[in-house]
């Protein structure tokens, strides 16, 4: 019997679990996929929004502003890449200036600091490649970028370092309220018991709520498609650039990522099948077309990959954070700015649980610092060589594009939460995330995984399930 089961290994489930372990060891994270950070928390823009956008006094407004202020220190503790690169919302017409003023007013009300409306020239001083038709901008100095999957993985890792447990490939299919506890059954028939449940199941959080008879909200999947450009193109833009929202919606953004790539997108399109993560010719075409408003000379020949994220769009106009039943909390419909709000959402959810009886006395042995996790690249040459002396696998480069060593890959297979497949290695080490997209390193990464896990080469998968790379030995 666990004290609390958190359903969903996304950034919300991860942050909630970590926040809980400050007080309570008996925390279980249930995730349906073969790894954590497989949902929205993997494929998004990675922007820590200032908080000028949401309607004042909404949960989105309050939690975004609070969460983004917590983010920098949290990222230090969790060893997550974060950078305050600043955001600009740019406009092209007189009408857009009016819109920017509305945004600024809203931001001021929400408590966002340092907002400023600037001219097109001033904007180009900050971002020289911005198109000359840009005539005005809202400058948001508190805007930042973060690595979203690293944040998710490291928060879950830190929760586990502090006693939490993780069950992968556990798709919650049934929840029975036994009065003092819940009986939770997976699609494969595995069973766990927990006194409390947090529903952080992203696009499926409505289905989890339905399992206990809560039909008060629905979630639709809303797909967003992106292009990722080679680091070589890093000079294109350093800040995060949005367009003034129009009736057509928020439009696309252009941003540097914490790793130095350029990210362009996303589109916004409602889809029926929530698990549909396909990119489409139309969607990608739309991104190309819209990005031209910002920059004339986007080096499209330097695209290294495209991907899709599916937003969990709730029908309540705000985050859905409530308790439909004793000992059960929804953290549902957490769409943008959910990443930015995550630390604050976690605090709120844990306070609600405490009100329902979860221990509120801080544990003395809680360690907020993520174990291991130090970025090899950030070490000095001497430190690197000292490490290689101890463990020579750090002297063997496996990924040529991102210069990832065998040592880092082995570590990702050992540290919490351990990687189990090639994509898991990619999200934890960046091996395969560079310009050749794994063409060079994948055959060797698979070999290291097989060795660490004691499985055969042909059992190694890209992302769990049936995603095997090979079909057995060709001989013998």
Partner 1 sequence: MEKDLVIIGGGPAGMAAAVAARERGLKDILIIERDDRLGGILRQCIHNGFGLHRFKEELTGPEYGERYETMVKDMDIDYMVNTMVIDLSEDKVVTAVNKEKGFFNIRAKSVVLAMGCREKNRGALAIPGERPAGVYSAGTAQKIVNIKGYLAGKEVVILGSGDIGLIMARRMTLEGAKVKAVLEIMEDSGGLTRNIVQCLNDFDIPLKLRHTVKEIHGRERVTGVTTVQVDENFKPVPNTEEYISCDTLMLSVGLIPENELSKKAGIEMNPKTRGPVISDYKETSVRGIFACGNVVKVHELVDFVSQEGEIAGRGAADFVMGNQPSEIKVKGSQNEQKKGVKNLGGIICTICPNGCKIQVAGDGTISGNLCKRGVEYALQEMKEPLRTLTSVVNTEDGLMVPVKTDKPISLKSMKKAMEELNSLTLVLPIRLGDIIIKDIGETGANLVATASLGD
Ligand X SMILES: Cc1cc2nc3c(=O)[nH]c(=O)nc-3n(C[C@H](O)[C@H](O)[C@H](O)COP(=O)(O)OP(=O)(O)OC[C@H]3O[C@@H](n4cnc5c(N)ncnc54)[C@H](O)[C@@H]3O)c2cc1C
CA neighbor of 17 nearest in space, from 2, 26, 8, 27: 27
* Region from 33-41, 134-142, 176-184, 363-371 binding ligand X, contact rule CB under 6 A: 33-41
Say whether residue 41 binds ligand X (CB under 6 A): yes
Would you state the structure tokens that stand for residue 436, as one six-digit string? 């050749």
- By a kind-dependent CB cut-off of 5 to 8 A, residue 396 interacts, out of ligand X, partner 1, none, with partner 1
CA distance 208 to 422: 29
Closest CB 275 distance from partner 1, rounded Å: 8
Can you tell me which of 171, 177, 280, 437 binds ligand X, judged by CB under 6 A?
171
Say whether residue 30 binds ligand X (CB under 6 A): yes
Closest CB 428 distance from partner 1, rounded Å: 18
By Cβ distance, which residue is nearest to ligand X? 338
CA distance 419 to 277: 22
CB closer to partner 1, 143 vs 202: 202
Burial of 239 (0-12, 13-18, 19+ CB in 10 A): buried
Instruction: Convert 78-90 to b/e letters by CB count within 10 Å (16 or more is b).
Output: bbbbbbebbbbbb
Would you state the structure tokens that stand for residue 37, as one six-digit string? 């950070």
Are 161 and 365 in contact by the 8 Å Cβ rule? The answer is: no
CA distance 164 to 316: 32
* Region from 7-15, 54-62, 108-116, 411-419 binding ligand X, contact rule CB under 6 A: 7-15
Are 305 and 437 in contact by the 8 Å Cβ rule? The answer is: yes
Catalytic (active site) residue 49: yes
Q: Residue 144: which H helix or E strand, with range?
A: strand 144-146
Instruction: Convert 30-56 to b/e letters by CB count within 10 Å (16 or more is b).
Output: bbbbbbbbbbbbbbbbbbbbbbbbbee
- By a kind-dependent CB cut-off of 5 to 8 A, residue 316 interacts, out of partner 1, ligand X, none, with none
Contacts with ligand X, 301-340, as mask; x by CB under 6 A: --------xxx----------------------xxxxxxx
Closest CB 315 distance from ligand X, rounded Å: 16
Closest CB 234 distance from partner 1, rounded Å: 13
Instruction: Convert 131-161 to b/e letters by CB count within 10 Å (16 or more is b).
Output: beebbbbbbbbbbbbbbbbbbbbbbbbbbbb
Q: What is the DSSP string of 215-226?
A: -S--EEEEEEEE
Say whether residue 32 binds ligand X (CB under 6 A): yes
CA distance 8 to 35: 11
- By a kind-dependent CB cut-off of 5 to 8 A, residue 310 interacts, out of ligand X, partner 1, none, with ligand X
Contacts with ligand X, 190-219, as mask; x by CB under 6 A: ----------xxxxx---x-----------
CA distance 28 to 417: 13
Closest CB 60 distance from ligand X, rounded Å: 10
CB closer to partner 1, 342 vs 425: 425
| Cα-based torsion angle of the residue sequence 450, 452, 455, 461 in order, rounded to the nearest 10 degrees | -50
- By a kind-dependent CB cut-off of 5 to 8 A, residue 74 interacts, out of ligand X, partner 1, none, with none
Can you tell me which of 26, 27, 31, 99 binds ligand X, judged by CB under 6 A?
31
Closest CB 201 distance from ligand X, rounded Å: 4
Decide: helix, strand or coil at residue 333: coil
CA 304 to chain centre: 20
Closest CB 254 distance from partner 1, rounded Å: 17
CB closer to partner 1, 178 vs 475: 475
- By a kind-dependent CB cut-off of 5 to 8 A, residue 311 interacts, out of ligand X, partner 1, none, with ligand X
Residues that bind partner 1 (CB under 8 A): 227-228, 275, 277-281, 283-284, 301, 303-307, 381, 384-385, 388-389, 392-393, 395-397, 400, 403, 436-437, 439-440, 442-443, 447, 457-458, 461-476
Looking up tokens 């001083």 gives 125
- By a kind-dependent CB cut-off of 5 to 8 A, residue 202 interacts, out of partner 1, ligand X, none, with ligand X
Are 329 and 355 in contact by the 8 Å Cβ rule? The answer is: no
Decide: helix, strand or coil at residue 124: helix
Tell me which residues in 49-68 interact with ligand X (CB under 6 A).
Answer: 49
CA neighbor of 35 nearest in space, from 157, 168, 152: 168
Tell me which residues in 261-300 interact with ligand X (CB under 6 A).
Answer: 266
> Exactly one of 49, 154, 210, 313 is catalytic; which is it?
49
Looking up tokens 């306070």 gives 351
Residues of this chain that interact with ligand X (CB under 6 A) are: 7-13, 30-33, 38-41, 44-47, 49, 170-172, 200-204, 208, 224, 266, 309-311, 334-340
Task: Write out the catalytic residue numbers.
Answer: 49
């Amino acid at each position: 019997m666990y004290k609390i089961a958190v359903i969903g290994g996304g950034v919300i489930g991860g942050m909630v679990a970590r926040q809980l372990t400050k007080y309570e060891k008996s925390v279980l994270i249930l995730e349906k996929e073969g790894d954590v950070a497989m949902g929205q928390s993997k494929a998004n823009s990675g922007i820590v929004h200032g908080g000028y956008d949401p309607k004042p006094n909404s949960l989105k407004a309050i939690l975004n502003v609070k969460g983004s202020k917590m983010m920098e220190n949290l990222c230090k503790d969790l060893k997550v890449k974060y950078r305050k690169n600043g955001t600009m919302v740019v406009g092209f017409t007189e009408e857009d200036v009016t819109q920017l003023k509305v945004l600024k007013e809203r931001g001021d009300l929400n408590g966002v600091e340092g907002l400023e409306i600037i001219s097109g020239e001033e904007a180009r001083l900050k971002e020289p490649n911005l198109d000359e038709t840009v005539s005005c901008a809202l400058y948001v100095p508190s805007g930042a970028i973060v690595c979203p999957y690293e944040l998710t993985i490291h928060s879950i890792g830190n929760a586990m370092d502090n006693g939490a447990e993780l069950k992968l490939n556990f798709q919650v299919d049934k929840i029975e309220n036994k009065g003092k506890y819940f009986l939770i059954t997976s699609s494969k028939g595995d069973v766990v018991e927990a006194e409390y449940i947090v529903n952080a199941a992203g696009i499926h959080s409505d289905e989890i709520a339905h399992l206990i008879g809560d039909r008060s909200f629905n979630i639709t999947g809303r797909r967003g498609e992106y292009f990722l450009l080679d680091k070589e193109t890093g000079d294109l833009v350093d800040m995060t650039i949005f367009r003034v929202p129009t009736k057509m919606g928020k439009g696309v953004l252009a941003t540097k990522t914490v790793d130095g790539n350029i990210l362009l997108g996303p589109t916004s399109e409602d889809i029926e099948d929530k698990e549909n993560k396909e990119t489409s010719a139309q969607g990608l075409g739309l991104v190309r077309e819209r990005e031209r408003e910002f920059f004339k000379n986007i080096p499209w020949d330097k695209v290294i990959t495209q991907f899709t994220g599916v937003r969990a769009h709730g029908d309540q106009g705000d985050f859905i954070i409530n308790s439909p039943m004793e000992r059960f909390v929804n953290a549902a419909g957490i769409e943008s700015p959910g990443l930015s709000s995550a630390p604050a959402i976690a605090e709120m959810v844990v306070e609600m649980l405490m009100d329902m009886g979860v221990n509120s006395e801080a544990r003395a042995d809680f360690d907020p610092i993520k174990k291991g996790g130090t970025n090899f690249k950030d070490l000095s040459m001497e430190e690197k060589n000292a490490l290689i002396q101890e463990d020579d696998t750090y002297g063997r480069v496996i990924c040529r594009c991102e210069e990832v060593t065998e040592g880092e890959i082995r570590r990702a297979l050992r540290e919490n939460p351990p990687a189990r497949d090639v994509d898991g290695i990619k999200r934890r080490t960046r091996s395969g995330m560079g310009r050749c997209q794994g063409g060079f390193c994948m055959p060797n990464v698979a070999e290291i995984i097989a060795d660490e896990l004691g499985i055969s080469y042909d059992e190694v998968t890209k992302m769990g399930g049936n995603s095997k790379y090979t079909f057995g030995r060709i001989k013998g």
